[in-house]
Chain A
């Protein structure tokens, strides 16, 4: 078998081509952070933190859009209010509050751990935040849905 003209061993050029980079999770390769399988509470917390962050940013623009209905006039605002006071819509408010609570409480945990102040209390912080968050969500849900 004769060598190529540049005197390289057969297969040398092929070996220079980098192989695929495997990532966790389905879909695009960079979606690995999103896949909760094989992750602990920290990795799942990070994924949920990013998701809730996106939800909150989306809500911010939605909120600004809704407020801009005031520019149209009283009739548009009135019909909108009847929509958002429906029970089904209020349930979405509870979901939003849950997202904000998770993002905020997890953010506090990340800030403490990330600045090196409470690294060894990380798991305790997570569970304290979880208990506070769940209690606050239940209170908010009962309040918003009219049970309180």
Chain B
């Protein structure tokens, strides 16, 4: 019984060792083979110098983002079954390439606003050490103080900072994979554009500021290289593997900038 194979065209680049090129490999595949499986097979059996990033293998860490047949995918959950007999694999676009399929992610993280304690530190606020916490709406919840060091608990989110009835979209879902920046057609032509993930993170800050000044976030997002650079291609939302809907977040920021009349808490 002959084994089914797919032809992989893999982008190659080694610093100081010639230019860019594509190498072709015939890879045996099964019904559940992912692109990452195929690339690791190439690395083990054909070319150990092939460089790629990966970690969790279940679309959670966001490290294996790459272009598969020109489209942004997480290689660990991208089935070869969904592609043709020849599959082209390239590094993410709009980011400097370190080697082969590995891009310099500093070019992605450097775009984020400096103050984004929730998104980056992923820690509960200082006043979440326990005690009374009053939730908005019909429910009022009182928690006992937690002993010892700071512990995380879902109910410890500081809902007092949010406007009543706020539609919480958990941008913690963003796995910071960089796929949205690669897919963004504006980032291809505008190097200064901060990009979808950073703007979505800023919008998330408006929902739960936790000490960050609302006007600072809006001033940061309202710069020429901020929300106004977006041309509504919506490729970020389409490419997002975590359904963090960054385009919708950008438009919400714009709405805030257009119709902003101060802090929601002060309006009450």
Contacts and interface: CB of A to CB of B under 8 A. Distances in A.
A101 to B, nearest CB: 18
Task: With a 10 A CB-CB cut-off, give which of B95, B231, B254 has the most chain A CB atoms.
Answer: B231
21 contacts: A14-B15, A14-B16, A18-B104, A20-B96, A22-B92, A23-B93, A23-B188, A24-B93, A33-B186, A37-B69, A38-B67, A42-B238, A42-B247, A43-B183, A46-B233, A110-B232, A114-B232, A116-B252, A116-B255, A117-B255, A122-B234
Task: With a 10 A CB-CB cut-off, give which of A30, A46, A117 has the most chain B CB atoms.
Answer: A46
Given A30-B188, A32-B188, A114-B230, A42 B235 contact: yes
Report the interface size class on chain B. 35 or more
Contacts of B20: 20
A119 interface: yes
Contacts of B15: 14-15, 17, 19
B1 interface: no
Interface string A107-143: 0011001111101101000000000000000000000
Task: With a 10 A CB-CB cut-off, give which of A15, A17, A24, A46 has the most chain B CB atoms.
Answer: A24
Nearest to A39: B235
Interface string B1-44: 00000000001010110001000000000000000000000000
B63 interface: no
A35 interface: yes
B251 A114 contact: yes
Interface of B: 11, 13, 15-16, 20, 67, 69-72, 90-99, 103-104, 183, 185-186, 188-189, 230-235, 238, 247-248, 251-256, 258
A47 interface: yes
Interface residues of A, number: 37
A119 B97 contact: no
Nearest to B253: A116
Contact of A40 (B95, B98, B235, B252): B235
A120 B248 contact: yes
Contacts of B235: 39-40, 42-43
B96 A19 contact: yes
Interface of A: 11, 14-15, 17-24, 29-33, 35, 37-40, 42-43, 45-47, 49, 109-110, 113-117, 119-120, 122
Nearest 3 pairs of A and B residues by beta carbon? A116-B255, A42-B234, A38-B70
B16 A43 contact: no
Contacts of B238: 40, 42-43
Contact of A115 (B72, B231, B255): B255
A33 B189 contact: yes
A11 B255 CA distance: 49
Contacts of B252: 116, 119
Given A21-B95, A32-B93, 8 more contacts: A22-B92, A31-B188, A43-B185, A110-B231, A114-B232, A119-B251, A122-B232, A122-B234
A111 B13 CA distance: 41
A47 B255 contact: no
Task: With a 10 A CB-CB cut-off, give which of A21, A47, A115, A117 has the most chain B CB atoms.
Answer: A21
